[in-house]
């Protein structure tokens, strides 16, 4: 899969680490059937460039490459009030000397606060030009198109990036990740049996599926839903994976059974804390010194822990967890993740 024909910016001039988590694996095994659990590895995409890292950086290398090639001067994107995607997109825009505007969807009524900490604080610190807040369930594409019209009326040239950077161009970032992983598996002699990844706007999960299949990496991928259960999530991921494959024009048809997701761990609602997430965040912090976030990686890891305890993984299976970042939003949930507030 040749990515060289696509405009691309390089925000991370090194491969992110592939590392074992022995203390976490031991702690997890103690609560698994027979005291034996999977051997957990981490792909540290929380250490990608554009402070402070996260999976959106890979997507933005290609999305910003296209925006600059088209001569854009203003980036428009969307997300929830504590959106990691919005924060990293703004960081990329600042790096490139472009303006940036957001449409923020208040998916949980009353959840947006202009004075909130976490990512929201960073939006203002990095100089966001404008934020439009809309109610949950709004037509976000229409809201971004209206914002783009405003930019044009002011003499600017907008470039719209969809939520999560999840389209075929953004998905190329996780084809690149698949290629990076393939080299790391070889260099480190890692025999990975399964990959666990977050499944939300679908760009990371879908891009990785296309990348694995297109590069003949025969390792199953399981997505942990962060906002939807499989009946709603898997069709989105399948569509994204095929769109990425079609863009690369390699004659690849994505098998429907290559897209697997698990639901339930995101409940009771997107971004609303639950006890399994709190346990996962505390467990990783206290065994490996690795920080997860409450909205995404905390619930994804809760899914991995839950599957391990259910016997989903074979004993001593080598499982790779794709750490997609999200650190700043951790600060907006301090009382919850420290157990001061019951969930």
Kindly list the catalytic residues.
83
Instruction: List strand residue ranges (DSSP E) for the chain, in order.
Output: 18-20, 39-44, 74-79, 99-106, 130-135, 158-160, 194-199, 221-225, 260-262, 318-323
Which residues touch 274 (CB under 8 Å, ≥6 apart)? Answer: 265, 267, 268, 299, 302, 343
Report which DSSP code applies to 312: -
For 264-301, give the DSSP string: STTTTSTT---HHHHHHHHHHHHHT-----TTTHHHHH
Two tokens, residue 9:
């910016």
- DSSP H helices in 31-164: 56-69, 84-96, 119-125, 140-153
What is the torsion angle, in degrees rounded to the nearest 10, for the CA atoms of residue 279, residue 280, residue 286 and residue 287? Answer: 130
């Amino acid at each position: 899969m040749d990515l060289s024909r696509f405009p691309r910016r390089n925000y991370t001039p090194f491969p992110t680490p592939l590392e074992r988590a022995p203390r976490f694996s031991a702690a997890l095994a103690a609560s698994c059937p027979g005291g034996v659990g999977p051997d957990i590895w981490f792909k540290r995409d929380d250490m990608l460039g554009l402070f402070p890292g996260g999976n959106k950086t890979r997507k933005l290398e290609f999305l910003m490459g296209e925006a600059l090639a088209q001569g854009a001067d203003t980036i428009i994107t969307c997300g929830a009030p504590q959106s990691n995607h919005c924060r990293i997109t703004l960081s990329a825009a600042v790096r490139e000397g472009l303006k940036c505007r957001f449409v923020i969807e208040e998916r949980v009524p009353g959840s947006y606060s202009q004075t909130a900490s976490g990512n929201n604080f960073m939006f203002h610190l990095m100089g966001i030009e404008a934020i439009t807040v809309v109610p949950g369930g709004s037509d976000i594409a229409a809201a971004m198109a209206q914002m783009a019209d405003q930019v044009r009326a002011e003499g600017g040239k907008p470039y719209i990036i969809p939520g999560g950077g999840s389209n075929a161009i953004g998905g190329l970032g996780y084809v690149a990740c698949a290629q990076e992983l393939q080299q790391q598996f070889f260099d480190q002699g890692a025999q990975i049996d399964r990959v666990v990844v977050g499944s939300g706007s679908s760009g990371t999960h879908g891009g990785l599926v296309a990348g694995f299949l297109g590069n003949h990496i025969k390792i199953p991928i399981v997505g942990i839903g962060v906002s939807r259960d499989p009946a709603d999530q898997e069709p989105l991921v399948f569509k994204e994976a095929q769109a990425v494959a079609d863009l690369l024009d390699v004659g690849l048809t994505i098998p429907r059974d290559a897209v697997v997701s698990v639901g339930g761990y995101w409940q009771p609602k997107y971004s609303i804390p639950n006890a399994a997430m709190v346990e996962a965040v505390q467990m990783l912090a206290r065994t490996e010194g690795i920080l997860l976030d409450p909205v995404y990686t905390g619930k994804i890891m809760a899914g991995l822990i839950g599957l391990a305890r259910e016997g989903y993984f074979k004993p001593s299976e080598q499982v790779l967890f794709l750490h997609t970042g999200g650190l700043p939003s951790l600060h907006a949930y301090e009382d919850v993740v420290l157990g001061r507030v019951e969930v």
